[in-house]
């Protein structure tokens, strides 16, 4: 590089120093990410411990039949041997951990000859489809409603949006699902003579996705809208926004470039909990709309005491949620330069 003679320009040294700061920040970011990933291991381990201990503290054996004739002792002994229940609990636990490390979650008690992993893999496409659809609804609608309400604060638009958010946040999703089925499947069928209605459950056509996705998305939409409204109102009060107005920027520019860029930072943090909610919400929504996904499989496992299946789904869910939280935390560091890495 040619050396340019003469007085260095003002601030010529500045970019270099900024780069150095960013470098050290990126360095500590690497450490931060690695530490967060390592921290996931004890979390998942403890979830396994808690669930495992709970499963084994249950009264009776998984082969007890609710009412009616019980299995003979010989059959029970053979079943115990087959599923390794005849060994000491601690040995079973170590074996389970060892198997989980090899992606083996054991055999289901309920479905003969099916492994837990097969059952989860079978339900995955359904749960993922509904979850992704709901997520695609949550972010644009939630953020859109929140920004709209904040920009039109104390007008009818604001009251209507926040009223809707309060309702959506209070009504549980199985109640909303049931009411939607009554309205869009049962009543609409009667009113239109069967010409227009939405299917009350099942899978196969696009129609089947509409109500489950909306039911699942409604509560997170309400939370996102409330949070976006609050943080946008906070941002609108800042001095730099007044400056932006004062220098005559058009509304669109002020809102998009100055307000949203700052007010959406806190909204990113809720994406982690939103993801966790989608996971637990799938349990309910898949039951309401009879969708054969992982959530439905979990409920069936809980009601039929299929312990390996309960353990497997719980571990899987907690891993998914831990990863989602990790991704959100890392995203946050990139989006908000003020975040201190600890």
Partner 1 sequence: MALPVAVVEAAPIDWEVPEEQIGLWQDAWIRFRRNRLAVLGAAVVLFLIAVAVLSPLLVHFGLLASPLTQHVESIETPPGVNGHPFGTDILGRDTLARLMVGSQVSLTVGLLVQGIIFPIGLAIGLTAGYFGGRIDNLLMRFTDIWYAFPDLLFVLVVVSVWQLKGPWYLQLIPIFGAIALVNWVGLARLVRGQVLSIKEKEYIEAARSSGTPPLKLILKHLLPNSIGPIIVTLTFGIPNAIFLEAVLSFLGVGIQPPQPTWGQMVADGAEAIYANPSGVVFPALAIGFTLLAFSFIGDGLRDALDPRMRR
Binding site residues, partner 1, CB under 8 A: 39, 42-44, 46-47, 50-51, 54-55, 57-59, 166-167, 169-172, 174-175, 178-179, 181-182, 185-187, 200, 276-277, 279-280, 283-284, 287-288, 298-299, 302-303, 305, 310, 314, 317-318, 321-322, 325
Q: Which is nearer to partner 1, 31 or 186 (CB)?
A: 186
Q: Which is nearer to partner 1, 244 or 268 (CB)?
A: 268
Q: Which is nearer to partner 1, 46 or 98 (CB)?
A: 46
Q: Dig out the tokens for 20 from the structure.
A: 């150095």
Give strand pairing partners of 113: none
Distance, CA of 283 to CA of 232 (rounded, Å): 33
Q: Which is nearer to partner 1, 211 or 283 (CB)?
A: 283
| Cβ at position 309, least distance to partner 1 in Å | 11
- Residue in 276, 261, 262 with CA at minimum distance from that of residue 219: 276
* Sequence-distant (≥ 6) Cβ neighbours of residue 333 within 8 angstroms: 29, 32, 339, 341
Cα distances from 313 to residues 47, 117, 296, 318, 320, in angstroms, run: 11, 9, 11, 8, 10
Q: Dig out the tokens for 252 from the structure.
A: 């669109």
Q: Which is nearer to partner 1, 214 or 288 (CB)?
A: 288
Q: Dig out the tokens for 118 from the structure.
A: 């097969």
| Cβ at position 300, least distance to partner 1 in Å | 10
Q: Which is nearer to partner 1, 254 or 272 (CB)?
A: 272
| Cβ at position 333, least distance to partner 1 in Å | 18
Distance, CA of 35 to CA of 46 (rounded, Å): 17
Largest CA distance in the chain: 99
| Cβ at position 74, least distance to partner 1 in Å | 26
| Cβ at position 212, least distance to partner 1 in Å | 15
What b/e sequence results for 254-264 when a residue is b if at least 16 CB atoms lie within 10 Å of its CB, and e otherwise?
A: bbeebbbebbb
| Cβ at position 165, least distance to partner 1 in Å | 11
Distance, CA of 283 to CA of 126 (rounded, Å): 12
Q: Which is nearer to partner 1, 25 or 329 (CB)?
A: 329
**Residue 301 C-alpha from the chain's centroid:** 21
Angle at 249 between CA 247 and CA 250, to 5 degrees: 150
Q: Dig out the tokens for 210 from the structure.
A: 């509409």
| Cβ at position 42, least distance to partner 1 in Å | 8
Q: Which is nearer to partner 1, 42 or 125 (CB)?
A: 42
| Cβ at position 314, least distance to partner 1 in Å | 6
3-state helix, strand, coil in the chain (%, to 5): 75, 0, 25
């Amino acid at each position: 590089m040619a050396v340019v003679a003469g007085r260095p320009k003002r601030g010529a040294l500045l970019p270099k120093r900024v780069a150095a700061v960013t470098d050290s920040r990126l360095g500590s970011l690497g450490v931060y990410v690695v530490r967060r990933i390592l921290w996931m291991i004890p979390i998942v381990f403890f979830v396994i411990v808690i669930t495992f201990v709970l499963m084994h503290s249950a009264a009776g054996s998984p082969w007890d039949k609710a009412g009616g004739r019980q299995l003979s002792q010989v059959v029970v002994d053979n079943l115990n041997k087959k599923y390794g229940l005849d060994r000491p609990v601690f040995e079973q636990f170590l074996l389970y951990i060892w198997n989980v490390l090899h992606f083996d979650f054991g055999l289901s008690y309920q479905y003969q000859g099916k492994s837990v992993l097969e059952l989860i893999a079978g339900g995955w496409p359904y749960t993922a489809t509904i979850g992704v659809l709901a997520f695609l609804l949550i972010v644009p609608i939630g953020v859109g409603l929140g920004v709209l309400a904040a920009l039109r604060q104390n007008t009818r638009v604001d009251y209507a949006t926040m009223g809707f958010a309060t309702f959506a946040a209070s009504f549980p999703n199985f109640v909303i699902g049931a009411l939607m089925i009554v309205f869009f499947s049962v009543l609409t069928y009667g009113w239109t003579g069967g010409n227009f209605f939405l299917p009350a459950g099942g899978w196969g056509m696009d129609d089947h996705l509409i109500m489950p996705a909306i039911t699942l998305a409604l509560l997170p939409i309400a939370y996102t809208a409330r949070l976006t409204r609050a943080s946008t109102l906070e941002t609108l009060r800042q001095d730099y926004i007044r400056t932006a107005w004062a220098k005559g920027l058009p509304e669109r520019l002020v809102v998009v470039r100055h307000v949203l860029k700052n007010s959406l930072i806190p909204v990113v943090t809720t994406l982690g909990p939103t993801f966790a909610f989608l996971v637990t919400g799938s349990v309910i929504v898949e039951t309401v709309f009879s969708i054969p996904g992982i959530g439905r499989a979990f409920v069936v496992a809980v009601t039929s005491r299929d312990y390996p299946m309960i353990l497997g789904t719980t571990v899987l869910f907690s891993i998914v949620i831990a990863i989602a939280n990790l991704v959100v935390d890392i995203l946050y560091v990139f989006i908000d330069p003020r975040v201190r890495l600890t």
